[in-house]
Structure 1
Amino acid sequence: MSVKVNLYLDDLRDCPEGFIVARTIEEAIQCFQEHSIELLSLDHDLGEDENGNELRNGYDFVKYFCENGLRASKIYLHTDNPVGRNNMYETLLAAQRRGFIDEDIEIYHYSITVNKYSG
């Protein structure tokens, strides 16, 4: 594994300083394969394809994260979707309690960055 990086999963928002951005779940998975992750910041809604079908969302990524025992030192949820935020948060906590992910991962129900859109 290489130097630890901070990963920001979001389809629309500007990537905050000090983070690398993944616009899709597939990009986030690839980042986990190539890097060690320090801070992980997650959006819930990740847009639609060209036919208007909803793409896999941040909750889908959380499930992948837990099923595959991935690791980040700290996880923040920057989504504006309150139901999605709660689903991601509760799933991460449950996975931690059940030993699917490391118990020392810090999980936060809020954002560490300011959400910004420039385009």
Structure 2
Amino acid sequence: MKNLFLDDKRVAPDGYVLVKSVRQCIEYLERNAVARLSLDYNLGKNKPKGYRVALYMVRRKKFPPHITIHSNSPRGRMKMYRLLARHKPKGVSLEIRPLPTPLK
């Protein structure tokens, strides 16, 4: 199983595959078994938010065993956390761990 990191600006941590858009993330989740998923909320101006990936998982009932929300957006990360916490199976771990803002 792979680890997946959704972010438009940050570099993926060692051991993670980087995807930069909601579309790429959902396509990857559909085609691969994912052990750990790390989600950002803001993915660029006028781009779909990471929340769409959370909605996809809820609607498809498809959750990796470990989910981390690493967004620095307080509102966005809580929106994703609340949705996933309500719908995830009991065995799925869910955590919030904001990362430093990337340098421009």
The two structures have a TM-score, normalised by structure 1, of 0.80
CA root-mean-square deviation: 1.6
Equivalent residue, structure 2, for 1:32: 29
Task: Quote the offset at 1:18 in angstroms.
Answer: 0.6
Equivalent residue, structure 2, for 1:10: 7
1:87 and 2:74 matched: no
Matching residue within 14, 17, 20 for 1:20: 17
Runs of 4 or more consecutive aligned structure 1 residues displaced over 2 Å after TM superposition: 114-119
The C-alpha deviation readout for 1:9-44, integer Å capped at 9, x for no partner, is: 001111111100110011001111221111100000
Structure 2 residue matching 1:45: 3-state secondary structure: coil
The percent identity for this pair of structures is 25
Gaps of 5+ in 2: none
Is the Cα contact below 8 Å between 1:13 and 1:115 reproduced in 2? no
Aligned length: 104
Structure 1 residue matching 2:87: 3-state secondary structure: helix
Larger Rg: 1
The two structures have a TM-score, normalised by structure 2, of 0.91
Equivalent residue, structure 2, for 1:103: 90
Is the Cα contact below 8 Å between 2:3 and 2:17 reproduced in 1? yes
Is the Cα contact below 8 Å between 1:8 and 1:20 reproduced in 2? yes
Is the Cα contact below 8 Å between 2:34 and 2:64 reproduced in 1? yes
Is the Cα contact below 8 Å between 2:72 and 2:101 reproduced in 1? no
